[in-house]
């Protein structure tokens, strides 16, 4: 088994943990900020441990790294903001379904910006797993698949597509930034990229809140305990994503990352004793099928 596979699965599990905790935080801006603001100290610790304890040398920075890292950082902030904003709509499920087009969009952006190509098997795996995730996203709504397709011009659908686009851009940008460092190894490249990006995002969002809504800091401070857990889980998940995307194309990593939905449903069934309907069951089966195809062809 290639190393990027268990790293991606672990990152997906941690992201599921982070998302579950993040839903309890109030406010779109605050919920978006905590994953960065409470995660950057841990990201710096990652770099310190790899450099001082493990003995890996620091990579050489270059213009390409900074450009890609900034593009990825801004794109991720905007994508996260849009995704959290979807929860303010009654029919947010359709928008969330469209946001799950991220792997397919990452494949397109990887081709456009990095010249990467994917095989037919990978395309099939992305399509199958993405179809499964979209099924799950609309399984508990009144929307039919016909309504989902015809609703592409609605506000929630457009927000979801925009979120997926920005997530796709950020994933490809992070891979490009990490590869631009050129060494000394994938772990150090990922750790340095994560540290720079998350500090940049914290400063950028902190400045935005100072300008737009300073009261948000008070709300974040009052919820510092869950925010700290969100930051910790988010930083660990991001470190996994960055390592995986240094080793493998972003579109392939993000396709395997759909396994996060399986973790979500496992939590619902085994911990919260919730029932899942037949559409959700089919969606889970399709996600597993897409992942199996992906593992077979790689």
Find the DSSP H helices in the chain.
Answer: 4-22, 28-37, 40-48, 63-85, 92-99, 102-114, 120-138, 145-150, 155-181, 186-212, 215-222, 224-247, 250-256, 260-270, 278-297
Question: What's the start-to-end Cα distance of the chain, in Å?
Answer: 10
- Cα–Cα–Cα angle for 206, 212, 215, rounded to 5 degrees: 75
Residue-by-residue pLDDT tens, the chain, 298 positions:
789 999 999 999 998 887 767 665 655 566 667 777 788 889 999 999 999 999 999 999 999 999 999 999 999 989 988 887 877 775 666 677 778 788 888 998 998 889 998 889 999 999 998 888 877 777 776 666 666 666 666 788 788 889 999 999 999 999 999 999 998 999 999 999 999 999 999 999 888 888 877 777 777 777 677 777 878 888 899 999 999 999 999 999 998 988 887 887 777 677 666 677 787 788 888 888 988 898 888 7
Backbone φ and ψ of 248, nearest 5°: -145, 160
Residue for token digits 């801004």? 74
The residue to which tokens 């009261």 are assigned: 215
The whole-model pTM stands at 0.86
How many Å separate Cα 126 from the centre of its chain? 16
């Amino acid at each position: 088994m290639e190393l990027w596979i268990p790293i991606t699965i672990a990152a997906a599990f941690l992201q599921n943990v982070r998302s579950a905790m993040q839903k309890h935080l109030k406010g779109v801006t605050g919920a978006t900020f905590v994953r960065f603001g409470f995660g950057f100290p841990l990201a710096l610790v990652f770099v310190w441990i790899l450099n001082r304890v493990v003995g890996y040398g620091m990579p050489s920075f270059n213009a390409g790294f900074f450009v890609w890292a900034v593009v990825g950082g801004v794109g991720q902030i905007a994508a996260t903001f849009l995704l959290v904003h979807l929860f303010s709509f009654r029919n947010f499920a359709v928008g969330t379904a469209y946001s799950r087009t991220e792997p397919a969009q990452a494949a397109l952006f990887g081709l456009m910006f990095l010249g990467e190509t994917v095989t037919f098997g990978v395309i099939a795996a992305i399509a199958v797993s993405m179809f499964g995730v979209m099924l799950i996203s609309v399984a508990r709504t009144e929307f039919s698949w016909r309504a989902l397709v015809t609703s592409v011009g609605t506000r929630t659908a457009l927000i979801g597509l925009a979120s997926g686009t920005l997530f796709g851009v950020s994933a490809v940008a992070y891979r490009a930034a990490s590869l631009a460092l050129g060494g000394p190894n994938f772990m150090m490249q990922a750790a340095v990229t994560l540290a720079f990006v998350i500090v940049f995002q914290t400063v950028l969002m902190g400045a935005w809140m100072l300008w737009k809504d300073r009261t948000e800091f008070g709300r974040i401070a009052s919820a510092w305990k869950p925010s700290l857990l969100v930051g910790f889980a988010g930083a660990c998940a991001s470190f996994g994503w960055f390592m995986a995307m240094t080793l493998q194309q972003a579109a392939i990593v993000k396709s395997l990352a759909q396994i996060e939905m399986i973790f979500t449903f496992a939590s619902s069934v085994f911990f919260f004793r919730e029932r899942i309907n037949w559409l959700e069951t089919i969606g889970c089966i399709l996600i597993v099928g897409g992942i199996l195809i992906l593992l077979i062809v790689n």
